[in-house]
Amino acid sequence: MQVIGDLETLHELAPAWWDLWRRDARATPFQSPAWLIPWWRAFSPGRLHVAAVWQDDRLAALAPLYIEEATGRLLPIGISLSDSLDLIAENPSAAQQLMQALLLDCPCARLDLEPVAAGAHARAAGGGKTWTCREEHTDVSPVLPLGPTWDAHVPARKRRQWRRAVREAQAHGDMRLEQVESHPAAFLGHLGRLHRARWETRSEEGVLADETVQRFQSLAAPELLRAGLARFYLLHFAGCVTGAYYGMAAKSSAFAYIGGFDPAFSHESPGTILLAHAMTQAHDEGARRFEFLRGAEPYKFAWGAHEAPLYRRIWERRP
């Protein structure tokens, strides 16, 4: 097992990491170098401890981790801002080999992996004789099936609400939807403004108000666009940008990460228009699942989504 402890070597690993990520059908954009390397560059909350297993010259499994020195835990790079984290592996056998090697020579007495989905590689890895392993249910990540049409599983009431929202927006005479494929800084500027405006109606700031989160997104957005993973949409009407949608797509799934809209136009429901557009585009690209990601907010279930559980997996060295 190779352990990578510095950013320069992590950058050098990126081509092999991308190759492995494409071979792992379970890997989402949240496990890609386009997401995790910018996260580490922005936050760097400890010491890198990225574990890699090679077979000949091929990267077979990867655990992007770091040591949180204040607690003595191994944690996944991307924790907190990522909605799905896991080992990356070409097959279950490689994932098991990686976990065995990682626990055999682990610098910490505890390893936490979260959030992990039901089908994650990490859920199949036990503790062995020298480690205990337990699992906690932490959240849900609602999912809407797509097909045979984009709205086949959307309740009739929600479809009516969407059509009404489009009519109200079109009444301004200049409604249009824009896919952002370049100039991510301008997109993030609109998103930050609209996200902040929405949260200010609740006398709160929202996650994008944090300067380090802003730096992370400014690093990640260009990489996601370059990799073809980003789905950034803006909604225009009434002479201005009224809504922004930040999503991703890969491997027959679309992921609705974050959004914002101008509260002055809440009657026109910019968020509803943008989500329907994102679902339509995802369906047209061949996606079979639309993932609303972490949280059980009622609006997700109003679209017809069903719950998908998320877990925390904890390994602790036996006394």
Write down all domains in the chain, each with its CATH number in brackets.
2-138+309-317 (3.40.630.30), 143-291 (3.40.630.30)
Strands 58-63 and 47-48: unpaired
Q: Is the pLDDT of residue 203 over 80?
A: no
Q: Is the pLDDT of residue 283 over 80?
A: yes
- pLDDT band at 301, cuts 50/70/90? very high
Q: Give ∠ CA 305-308-313 in degrees, rounded to 5.
A: 160
- pLDDT band at 277, cuts 50/70/90? very high
Say if CB 184 and CB 225 are below 8 A apart: yes
List CB contacts of 175: < 8 A, sequence separation 6 or more. 166, 169, 235, 236, 237
d(CA 125, CA 127): 7
d(CA 166, CA 275): 12
- pLDDT band at 15, cuts 50/70/90? very high
Say if CB 80 and CB 139 are below 8 A apart: no
Q: Is the pLDDT of residue 199 over 90?
A: no
Average pLDDT, the chain: 95
71: tokens are 């607690």
Q: Is the pLDDT of residue 128 over 80?
A: no
Say if CB 256 and CB 297 are below 8 A apart: no
* 204-218 pLDDT per residue, tens: 778 888 999 999 999
| Residue that wins the pLDDT comparison between 312 and 202 | 312
The stretch 58-62 carries a mean pLDDT of: 98
The mean-pLDDT minimum among 116-130, 193-207, 242-256 falls in 193-207
Q: What is the pLDDT of residue 201?
A: 76
d(CA 316, CA 314): 7
The stretch 124-144 carries a mean pLDDT of: 91
- pLDDT band at 129, cuts 50/70/90? confident
Q: Is the pLDDT of residue 29 over 90?
A: yes
Q: Is the pLDDT of residue 83 over 90?
A: yes
DSSP of 75-121, one letter per residue? EETTTTT-S----EESSHHHHHHHHHHHHHT-SSSEEEEEEEETT-G
The stretch 260-288 carries a mean pLDDT of: 96
Reduce the secondary structure of 115-171 to three states and give it as a string: EEECCCHHHHCCCCCCEEEEEEEEEECCEEECCCCCCCCCCHHHHHHHHHHHHHHHC
Place of tokens 């609705």: 256
Q: Is the pLDDT of residue 91 over 80?
A: yes
Q: Is the pLDDT of residue 236 over 90?
A: yes
| Residue that wins the pLDDT comparison between 200 and 312 | 312
Predicted TM-score (pTM) of the model is 0.95
- pLDDT band at 126, cuts 50/70/90? confident
Residue 312 pairs in a beta bridge with: 136
